[in-house]
Structure formats: C-alpha cells, structure tokens
Amino acid sequence: MDKVFISALQVPTVIGVYDWEKQIQQTLVFDIEMKTDIRLAAASDDLQLTIDYAAVCQAVTELCAVPHQLLETVAEKTATMLLQRFPTTAVAIRIGKPGAVPQAATVGVSINRGDW
C-alpha cells in the first residue's frame, strides 16, 4: 500500500489545560501519513483519484480553529476526520507542541488508526 504524507504542517491554535494557555495561540506541528493506493491517480494524472494534501492541510487547520485542552483529543479527532473524509484506510499522526516544556524542543503524541 502506498502512502501520502505531510511533514511539519504548522497550525496555530488555542490548546492547553492551564488558564494562560487558553488566552494565547500556540503552534502545533503535524506529521501525517495516510495509506492509499495511488496507482489509478498515477496512471491518469488525476488529482480526484488520490488524496489532495492541500485539502488535508486545510481540513486539519479548520479542525484546530476550535480550542482544545489535550493533544490527545486533537490527534483522535484528526484521525477520525481524515478516515471519514479522504480515501485512506489508515492514518499515522504525530503532533508536536514546541515550547510546551522549556527543556525539550517539542513534546507531543503519536497515534495510528485504521488498517496498518
């Protein structure tokens, strides 16, 4: 099975459990892989037969327009949305939250959903 991927998608959002976090925007960094079969798209050179990564980026950005407390929630909602809206059988999502812990470059979560 083939994969379409997006690396280091930066999305500003309101996220966090602390009161001060609910007052500011922070940047989340997404790495996304989506399992799909690209053979028909490759043979026909037709975007409609594959996953449009620009549409995926827009959908993730729109999902993050709503404030959340936990990265886990964002990851789960992102996976569910991608599996429902795009022609993929499985997704792998890694979300980093740079600056959340001063001693670390980033912290975050990583999930796999679907038929890996």
pTM: 0.95
C-alpha distances in Å from residue 98, one per residue of 6, 108, 112: 18, 8, 21
C-alpha distances in Å from residue 41, one per residue of 21, 37, 99: 43, 8, 39
Quote the domain boundaries for residue 21: 2-114
Tell me the mean pLDDT in the region 49-55: 97
Tell me the mean pLDDT in the region 46-67: 97
Q: Is 97 a catalytic residue?
A: yes
Q: Does residue 1 carry a pLDDT above 90?
A: no
CATH number (domain holding residue 57): 3.30.1130.10
Tell me the mean pLDDT in the region 64-90: 98
pLDDT confidence tier of residue 76, bands split at 50, 70 and 90: very high
Catalytic residue among 3, 22, 35, 97: 97
Q: How many domains does the chain have?
A: 1
